[in-house]
């Protein structure tokens, strides 16, 4: 589904951003999509209009009608929005970062599995059970 925010296609597409719009939100959408400063995008459009207004103005108007409006709940939080912007602007770097995070998590999981299946874990657990029995006032079982 497009534009519902329930998949990568919703987070990675270009939208008009009416919340930060001056006119139709096209410049704001472009700034959001590429991670540019909104003021810089607006100035570039104004300068481009001075040199090629005959193509920029119709293109802007066409985008105002063709681009969907940015859904209000597209991202659950600011962190998710930043992540998807990084996916759009630097997909290889983002993929590398995510792969690195998964490797770290895999390493942590392997250490945890080694501990849980070790003799040390069983011994630590028996000590905890003994301490719990002592604190409960029952003393060691025997």
Please count the structural domains in the chain.
2
pLDDT (0 to 100) of residue 77: 83
What is the average pLDDT across 23-32? 93
Position 82 pLDDT exceeds 60 = yes
Do 78 and 103 lie in a common domain?
no
Whole-number mean pLDDT of the chain?
A: 85
d(CA 92, CA 23): 34
Do 85 and 96 lie in a common domain?
no
Do 82 and 96 lie in a common domain?
no
Q: Positive or negative CA dihedral for 131, 133, 138, 141?
A: negative
Position 6 pLDDT exceeds 80 = no
pLDDT (0 to 100) of residue 72: 77
| Structure-block tokens of residue 46 | 């104004």
d(CA 23, CA 60): 10
Do 14 and 67 lie in a common domain?
yes
| Structure-block tokens of residue 43 | 């100035």
d(CA 57, CA 53): 6
Position 132 pLDDT exceeds 50 = yes
Position 57 pLDDT exceeds 60 = yes
* pLDDT tens per residue, range 85-130: 787 777 788 788 888 889 999 999 999 999 999 999 889 898 898 8
What is the average pLDDT across 27-43? 92
pLDDT (0 to 100) of residue 9: 60
**Share of residues in the chain with pLDDT > 90 (%):** 43
pLDDT (0 to 100) of residue 5: 43
Task: Tell me which of 89, 109, 134 is where a domain ends.
Answer: 89
Show the domain range for 133.
90-142
| Structure-block tokens of residue 14 | 């270009």
Task: Return the number of other C-beta atoms located less than 10 Å from residue 29's C-beta.
Answer: 26
């Amino acid at each position: 589904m497009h534009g519902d925010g329930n998949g990568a296609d919703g987070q990675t597409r270009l939208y008009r951003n009416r919340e930060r719009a001056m006119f139709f939100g096209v410049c704001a959408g472009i700034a959001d999509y590429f991670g540019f400063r909104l003021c810089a995008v607006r100035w570039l459009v104004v300068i481009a209009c001075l040199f090629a207004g005959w193509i920029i103005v119709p293109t802007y108007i066409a985008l105002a009608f063709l681009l969907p409006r940015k859904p209000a709940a597209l991202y659950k939080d600011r962190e998710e929005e930043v992540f998807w912007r990084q996916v759009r602007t630097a997909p290889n770097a983002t993929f590398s970062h995510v792969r690195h995070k998964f490797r770290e998590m895999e390493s942590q999981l392997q250490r945890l599995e080694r501990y849980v299946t070790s003799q040390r874990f069983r011994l630590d657990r028996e000590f905890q059970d003994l301490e719990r029995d002592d604190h409960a006032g029952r003393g060691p079982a025997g």
